[in-house]
Each structure stands twice: as C-alpha cells, then as structure tokens.
Amino acid sequence: MIRVDIEPSEANGLQVRSQAMIDRLSAALPQQVGLKVGHLEAEDLARIEFALINVLSLQHALSIVSGKGKLP
C-alpha cells in the first residue's frame, strides 16, 4: 500500500487525518464526487505528485519533459 498522509487544516477542510490512496487510482465521474470541502496545500500536492511519479514509473518521462533527459 502506498498512501500519503494528509493532516487536517483550515485550508483543506478535513476533520480527521486522511490518506491519498496512491495505489488505488481510478477515474470518477463528476456526479460521483461529493461536495468540495477545501483544497490541498502545495506541500500535500507535491507529496502526492512525487508518489504518483514513482508508482507509475514516470521518472524517465519526467526528466524528458523537464529537459534534463534524453529521448529514447
């Protein structure tokens, strides 16, 4: 299991410690998503993005996009 802990804050609107379930990716239709309670702060988003890059093995693609890598 790969989870990113998100602590409650005024900005994100969470009432309890929560987790982004990186290992359980799935698509959701807009009508399947509940009410917006807040937004994730930049630090939380960065930790989620880092975990996704690693789980999806996108390190090589990221280096190409950033201009630091070489095309295959």
pLDDT at position 47 is 94
* Closest of 52, 58, 47 to residue 4, by C-alpha: 47
Query: Who wins on pLDDT, 35 or 66?
Result: 35
Express each pLDDT in 20-47 by its tens digit.
Answer: 999 998 999 989 988 888 999 999 999 9
* Closest of 32, 37, 42, 31 to residue 18, by C-alpha: 37
Q: Is 28 exposed, middle or buried (0-12, 13-18, 19+ CB in 10 A)?
A: exposed
Is residue 66 within 8 Å of 58, Cβ to Cβ?
no
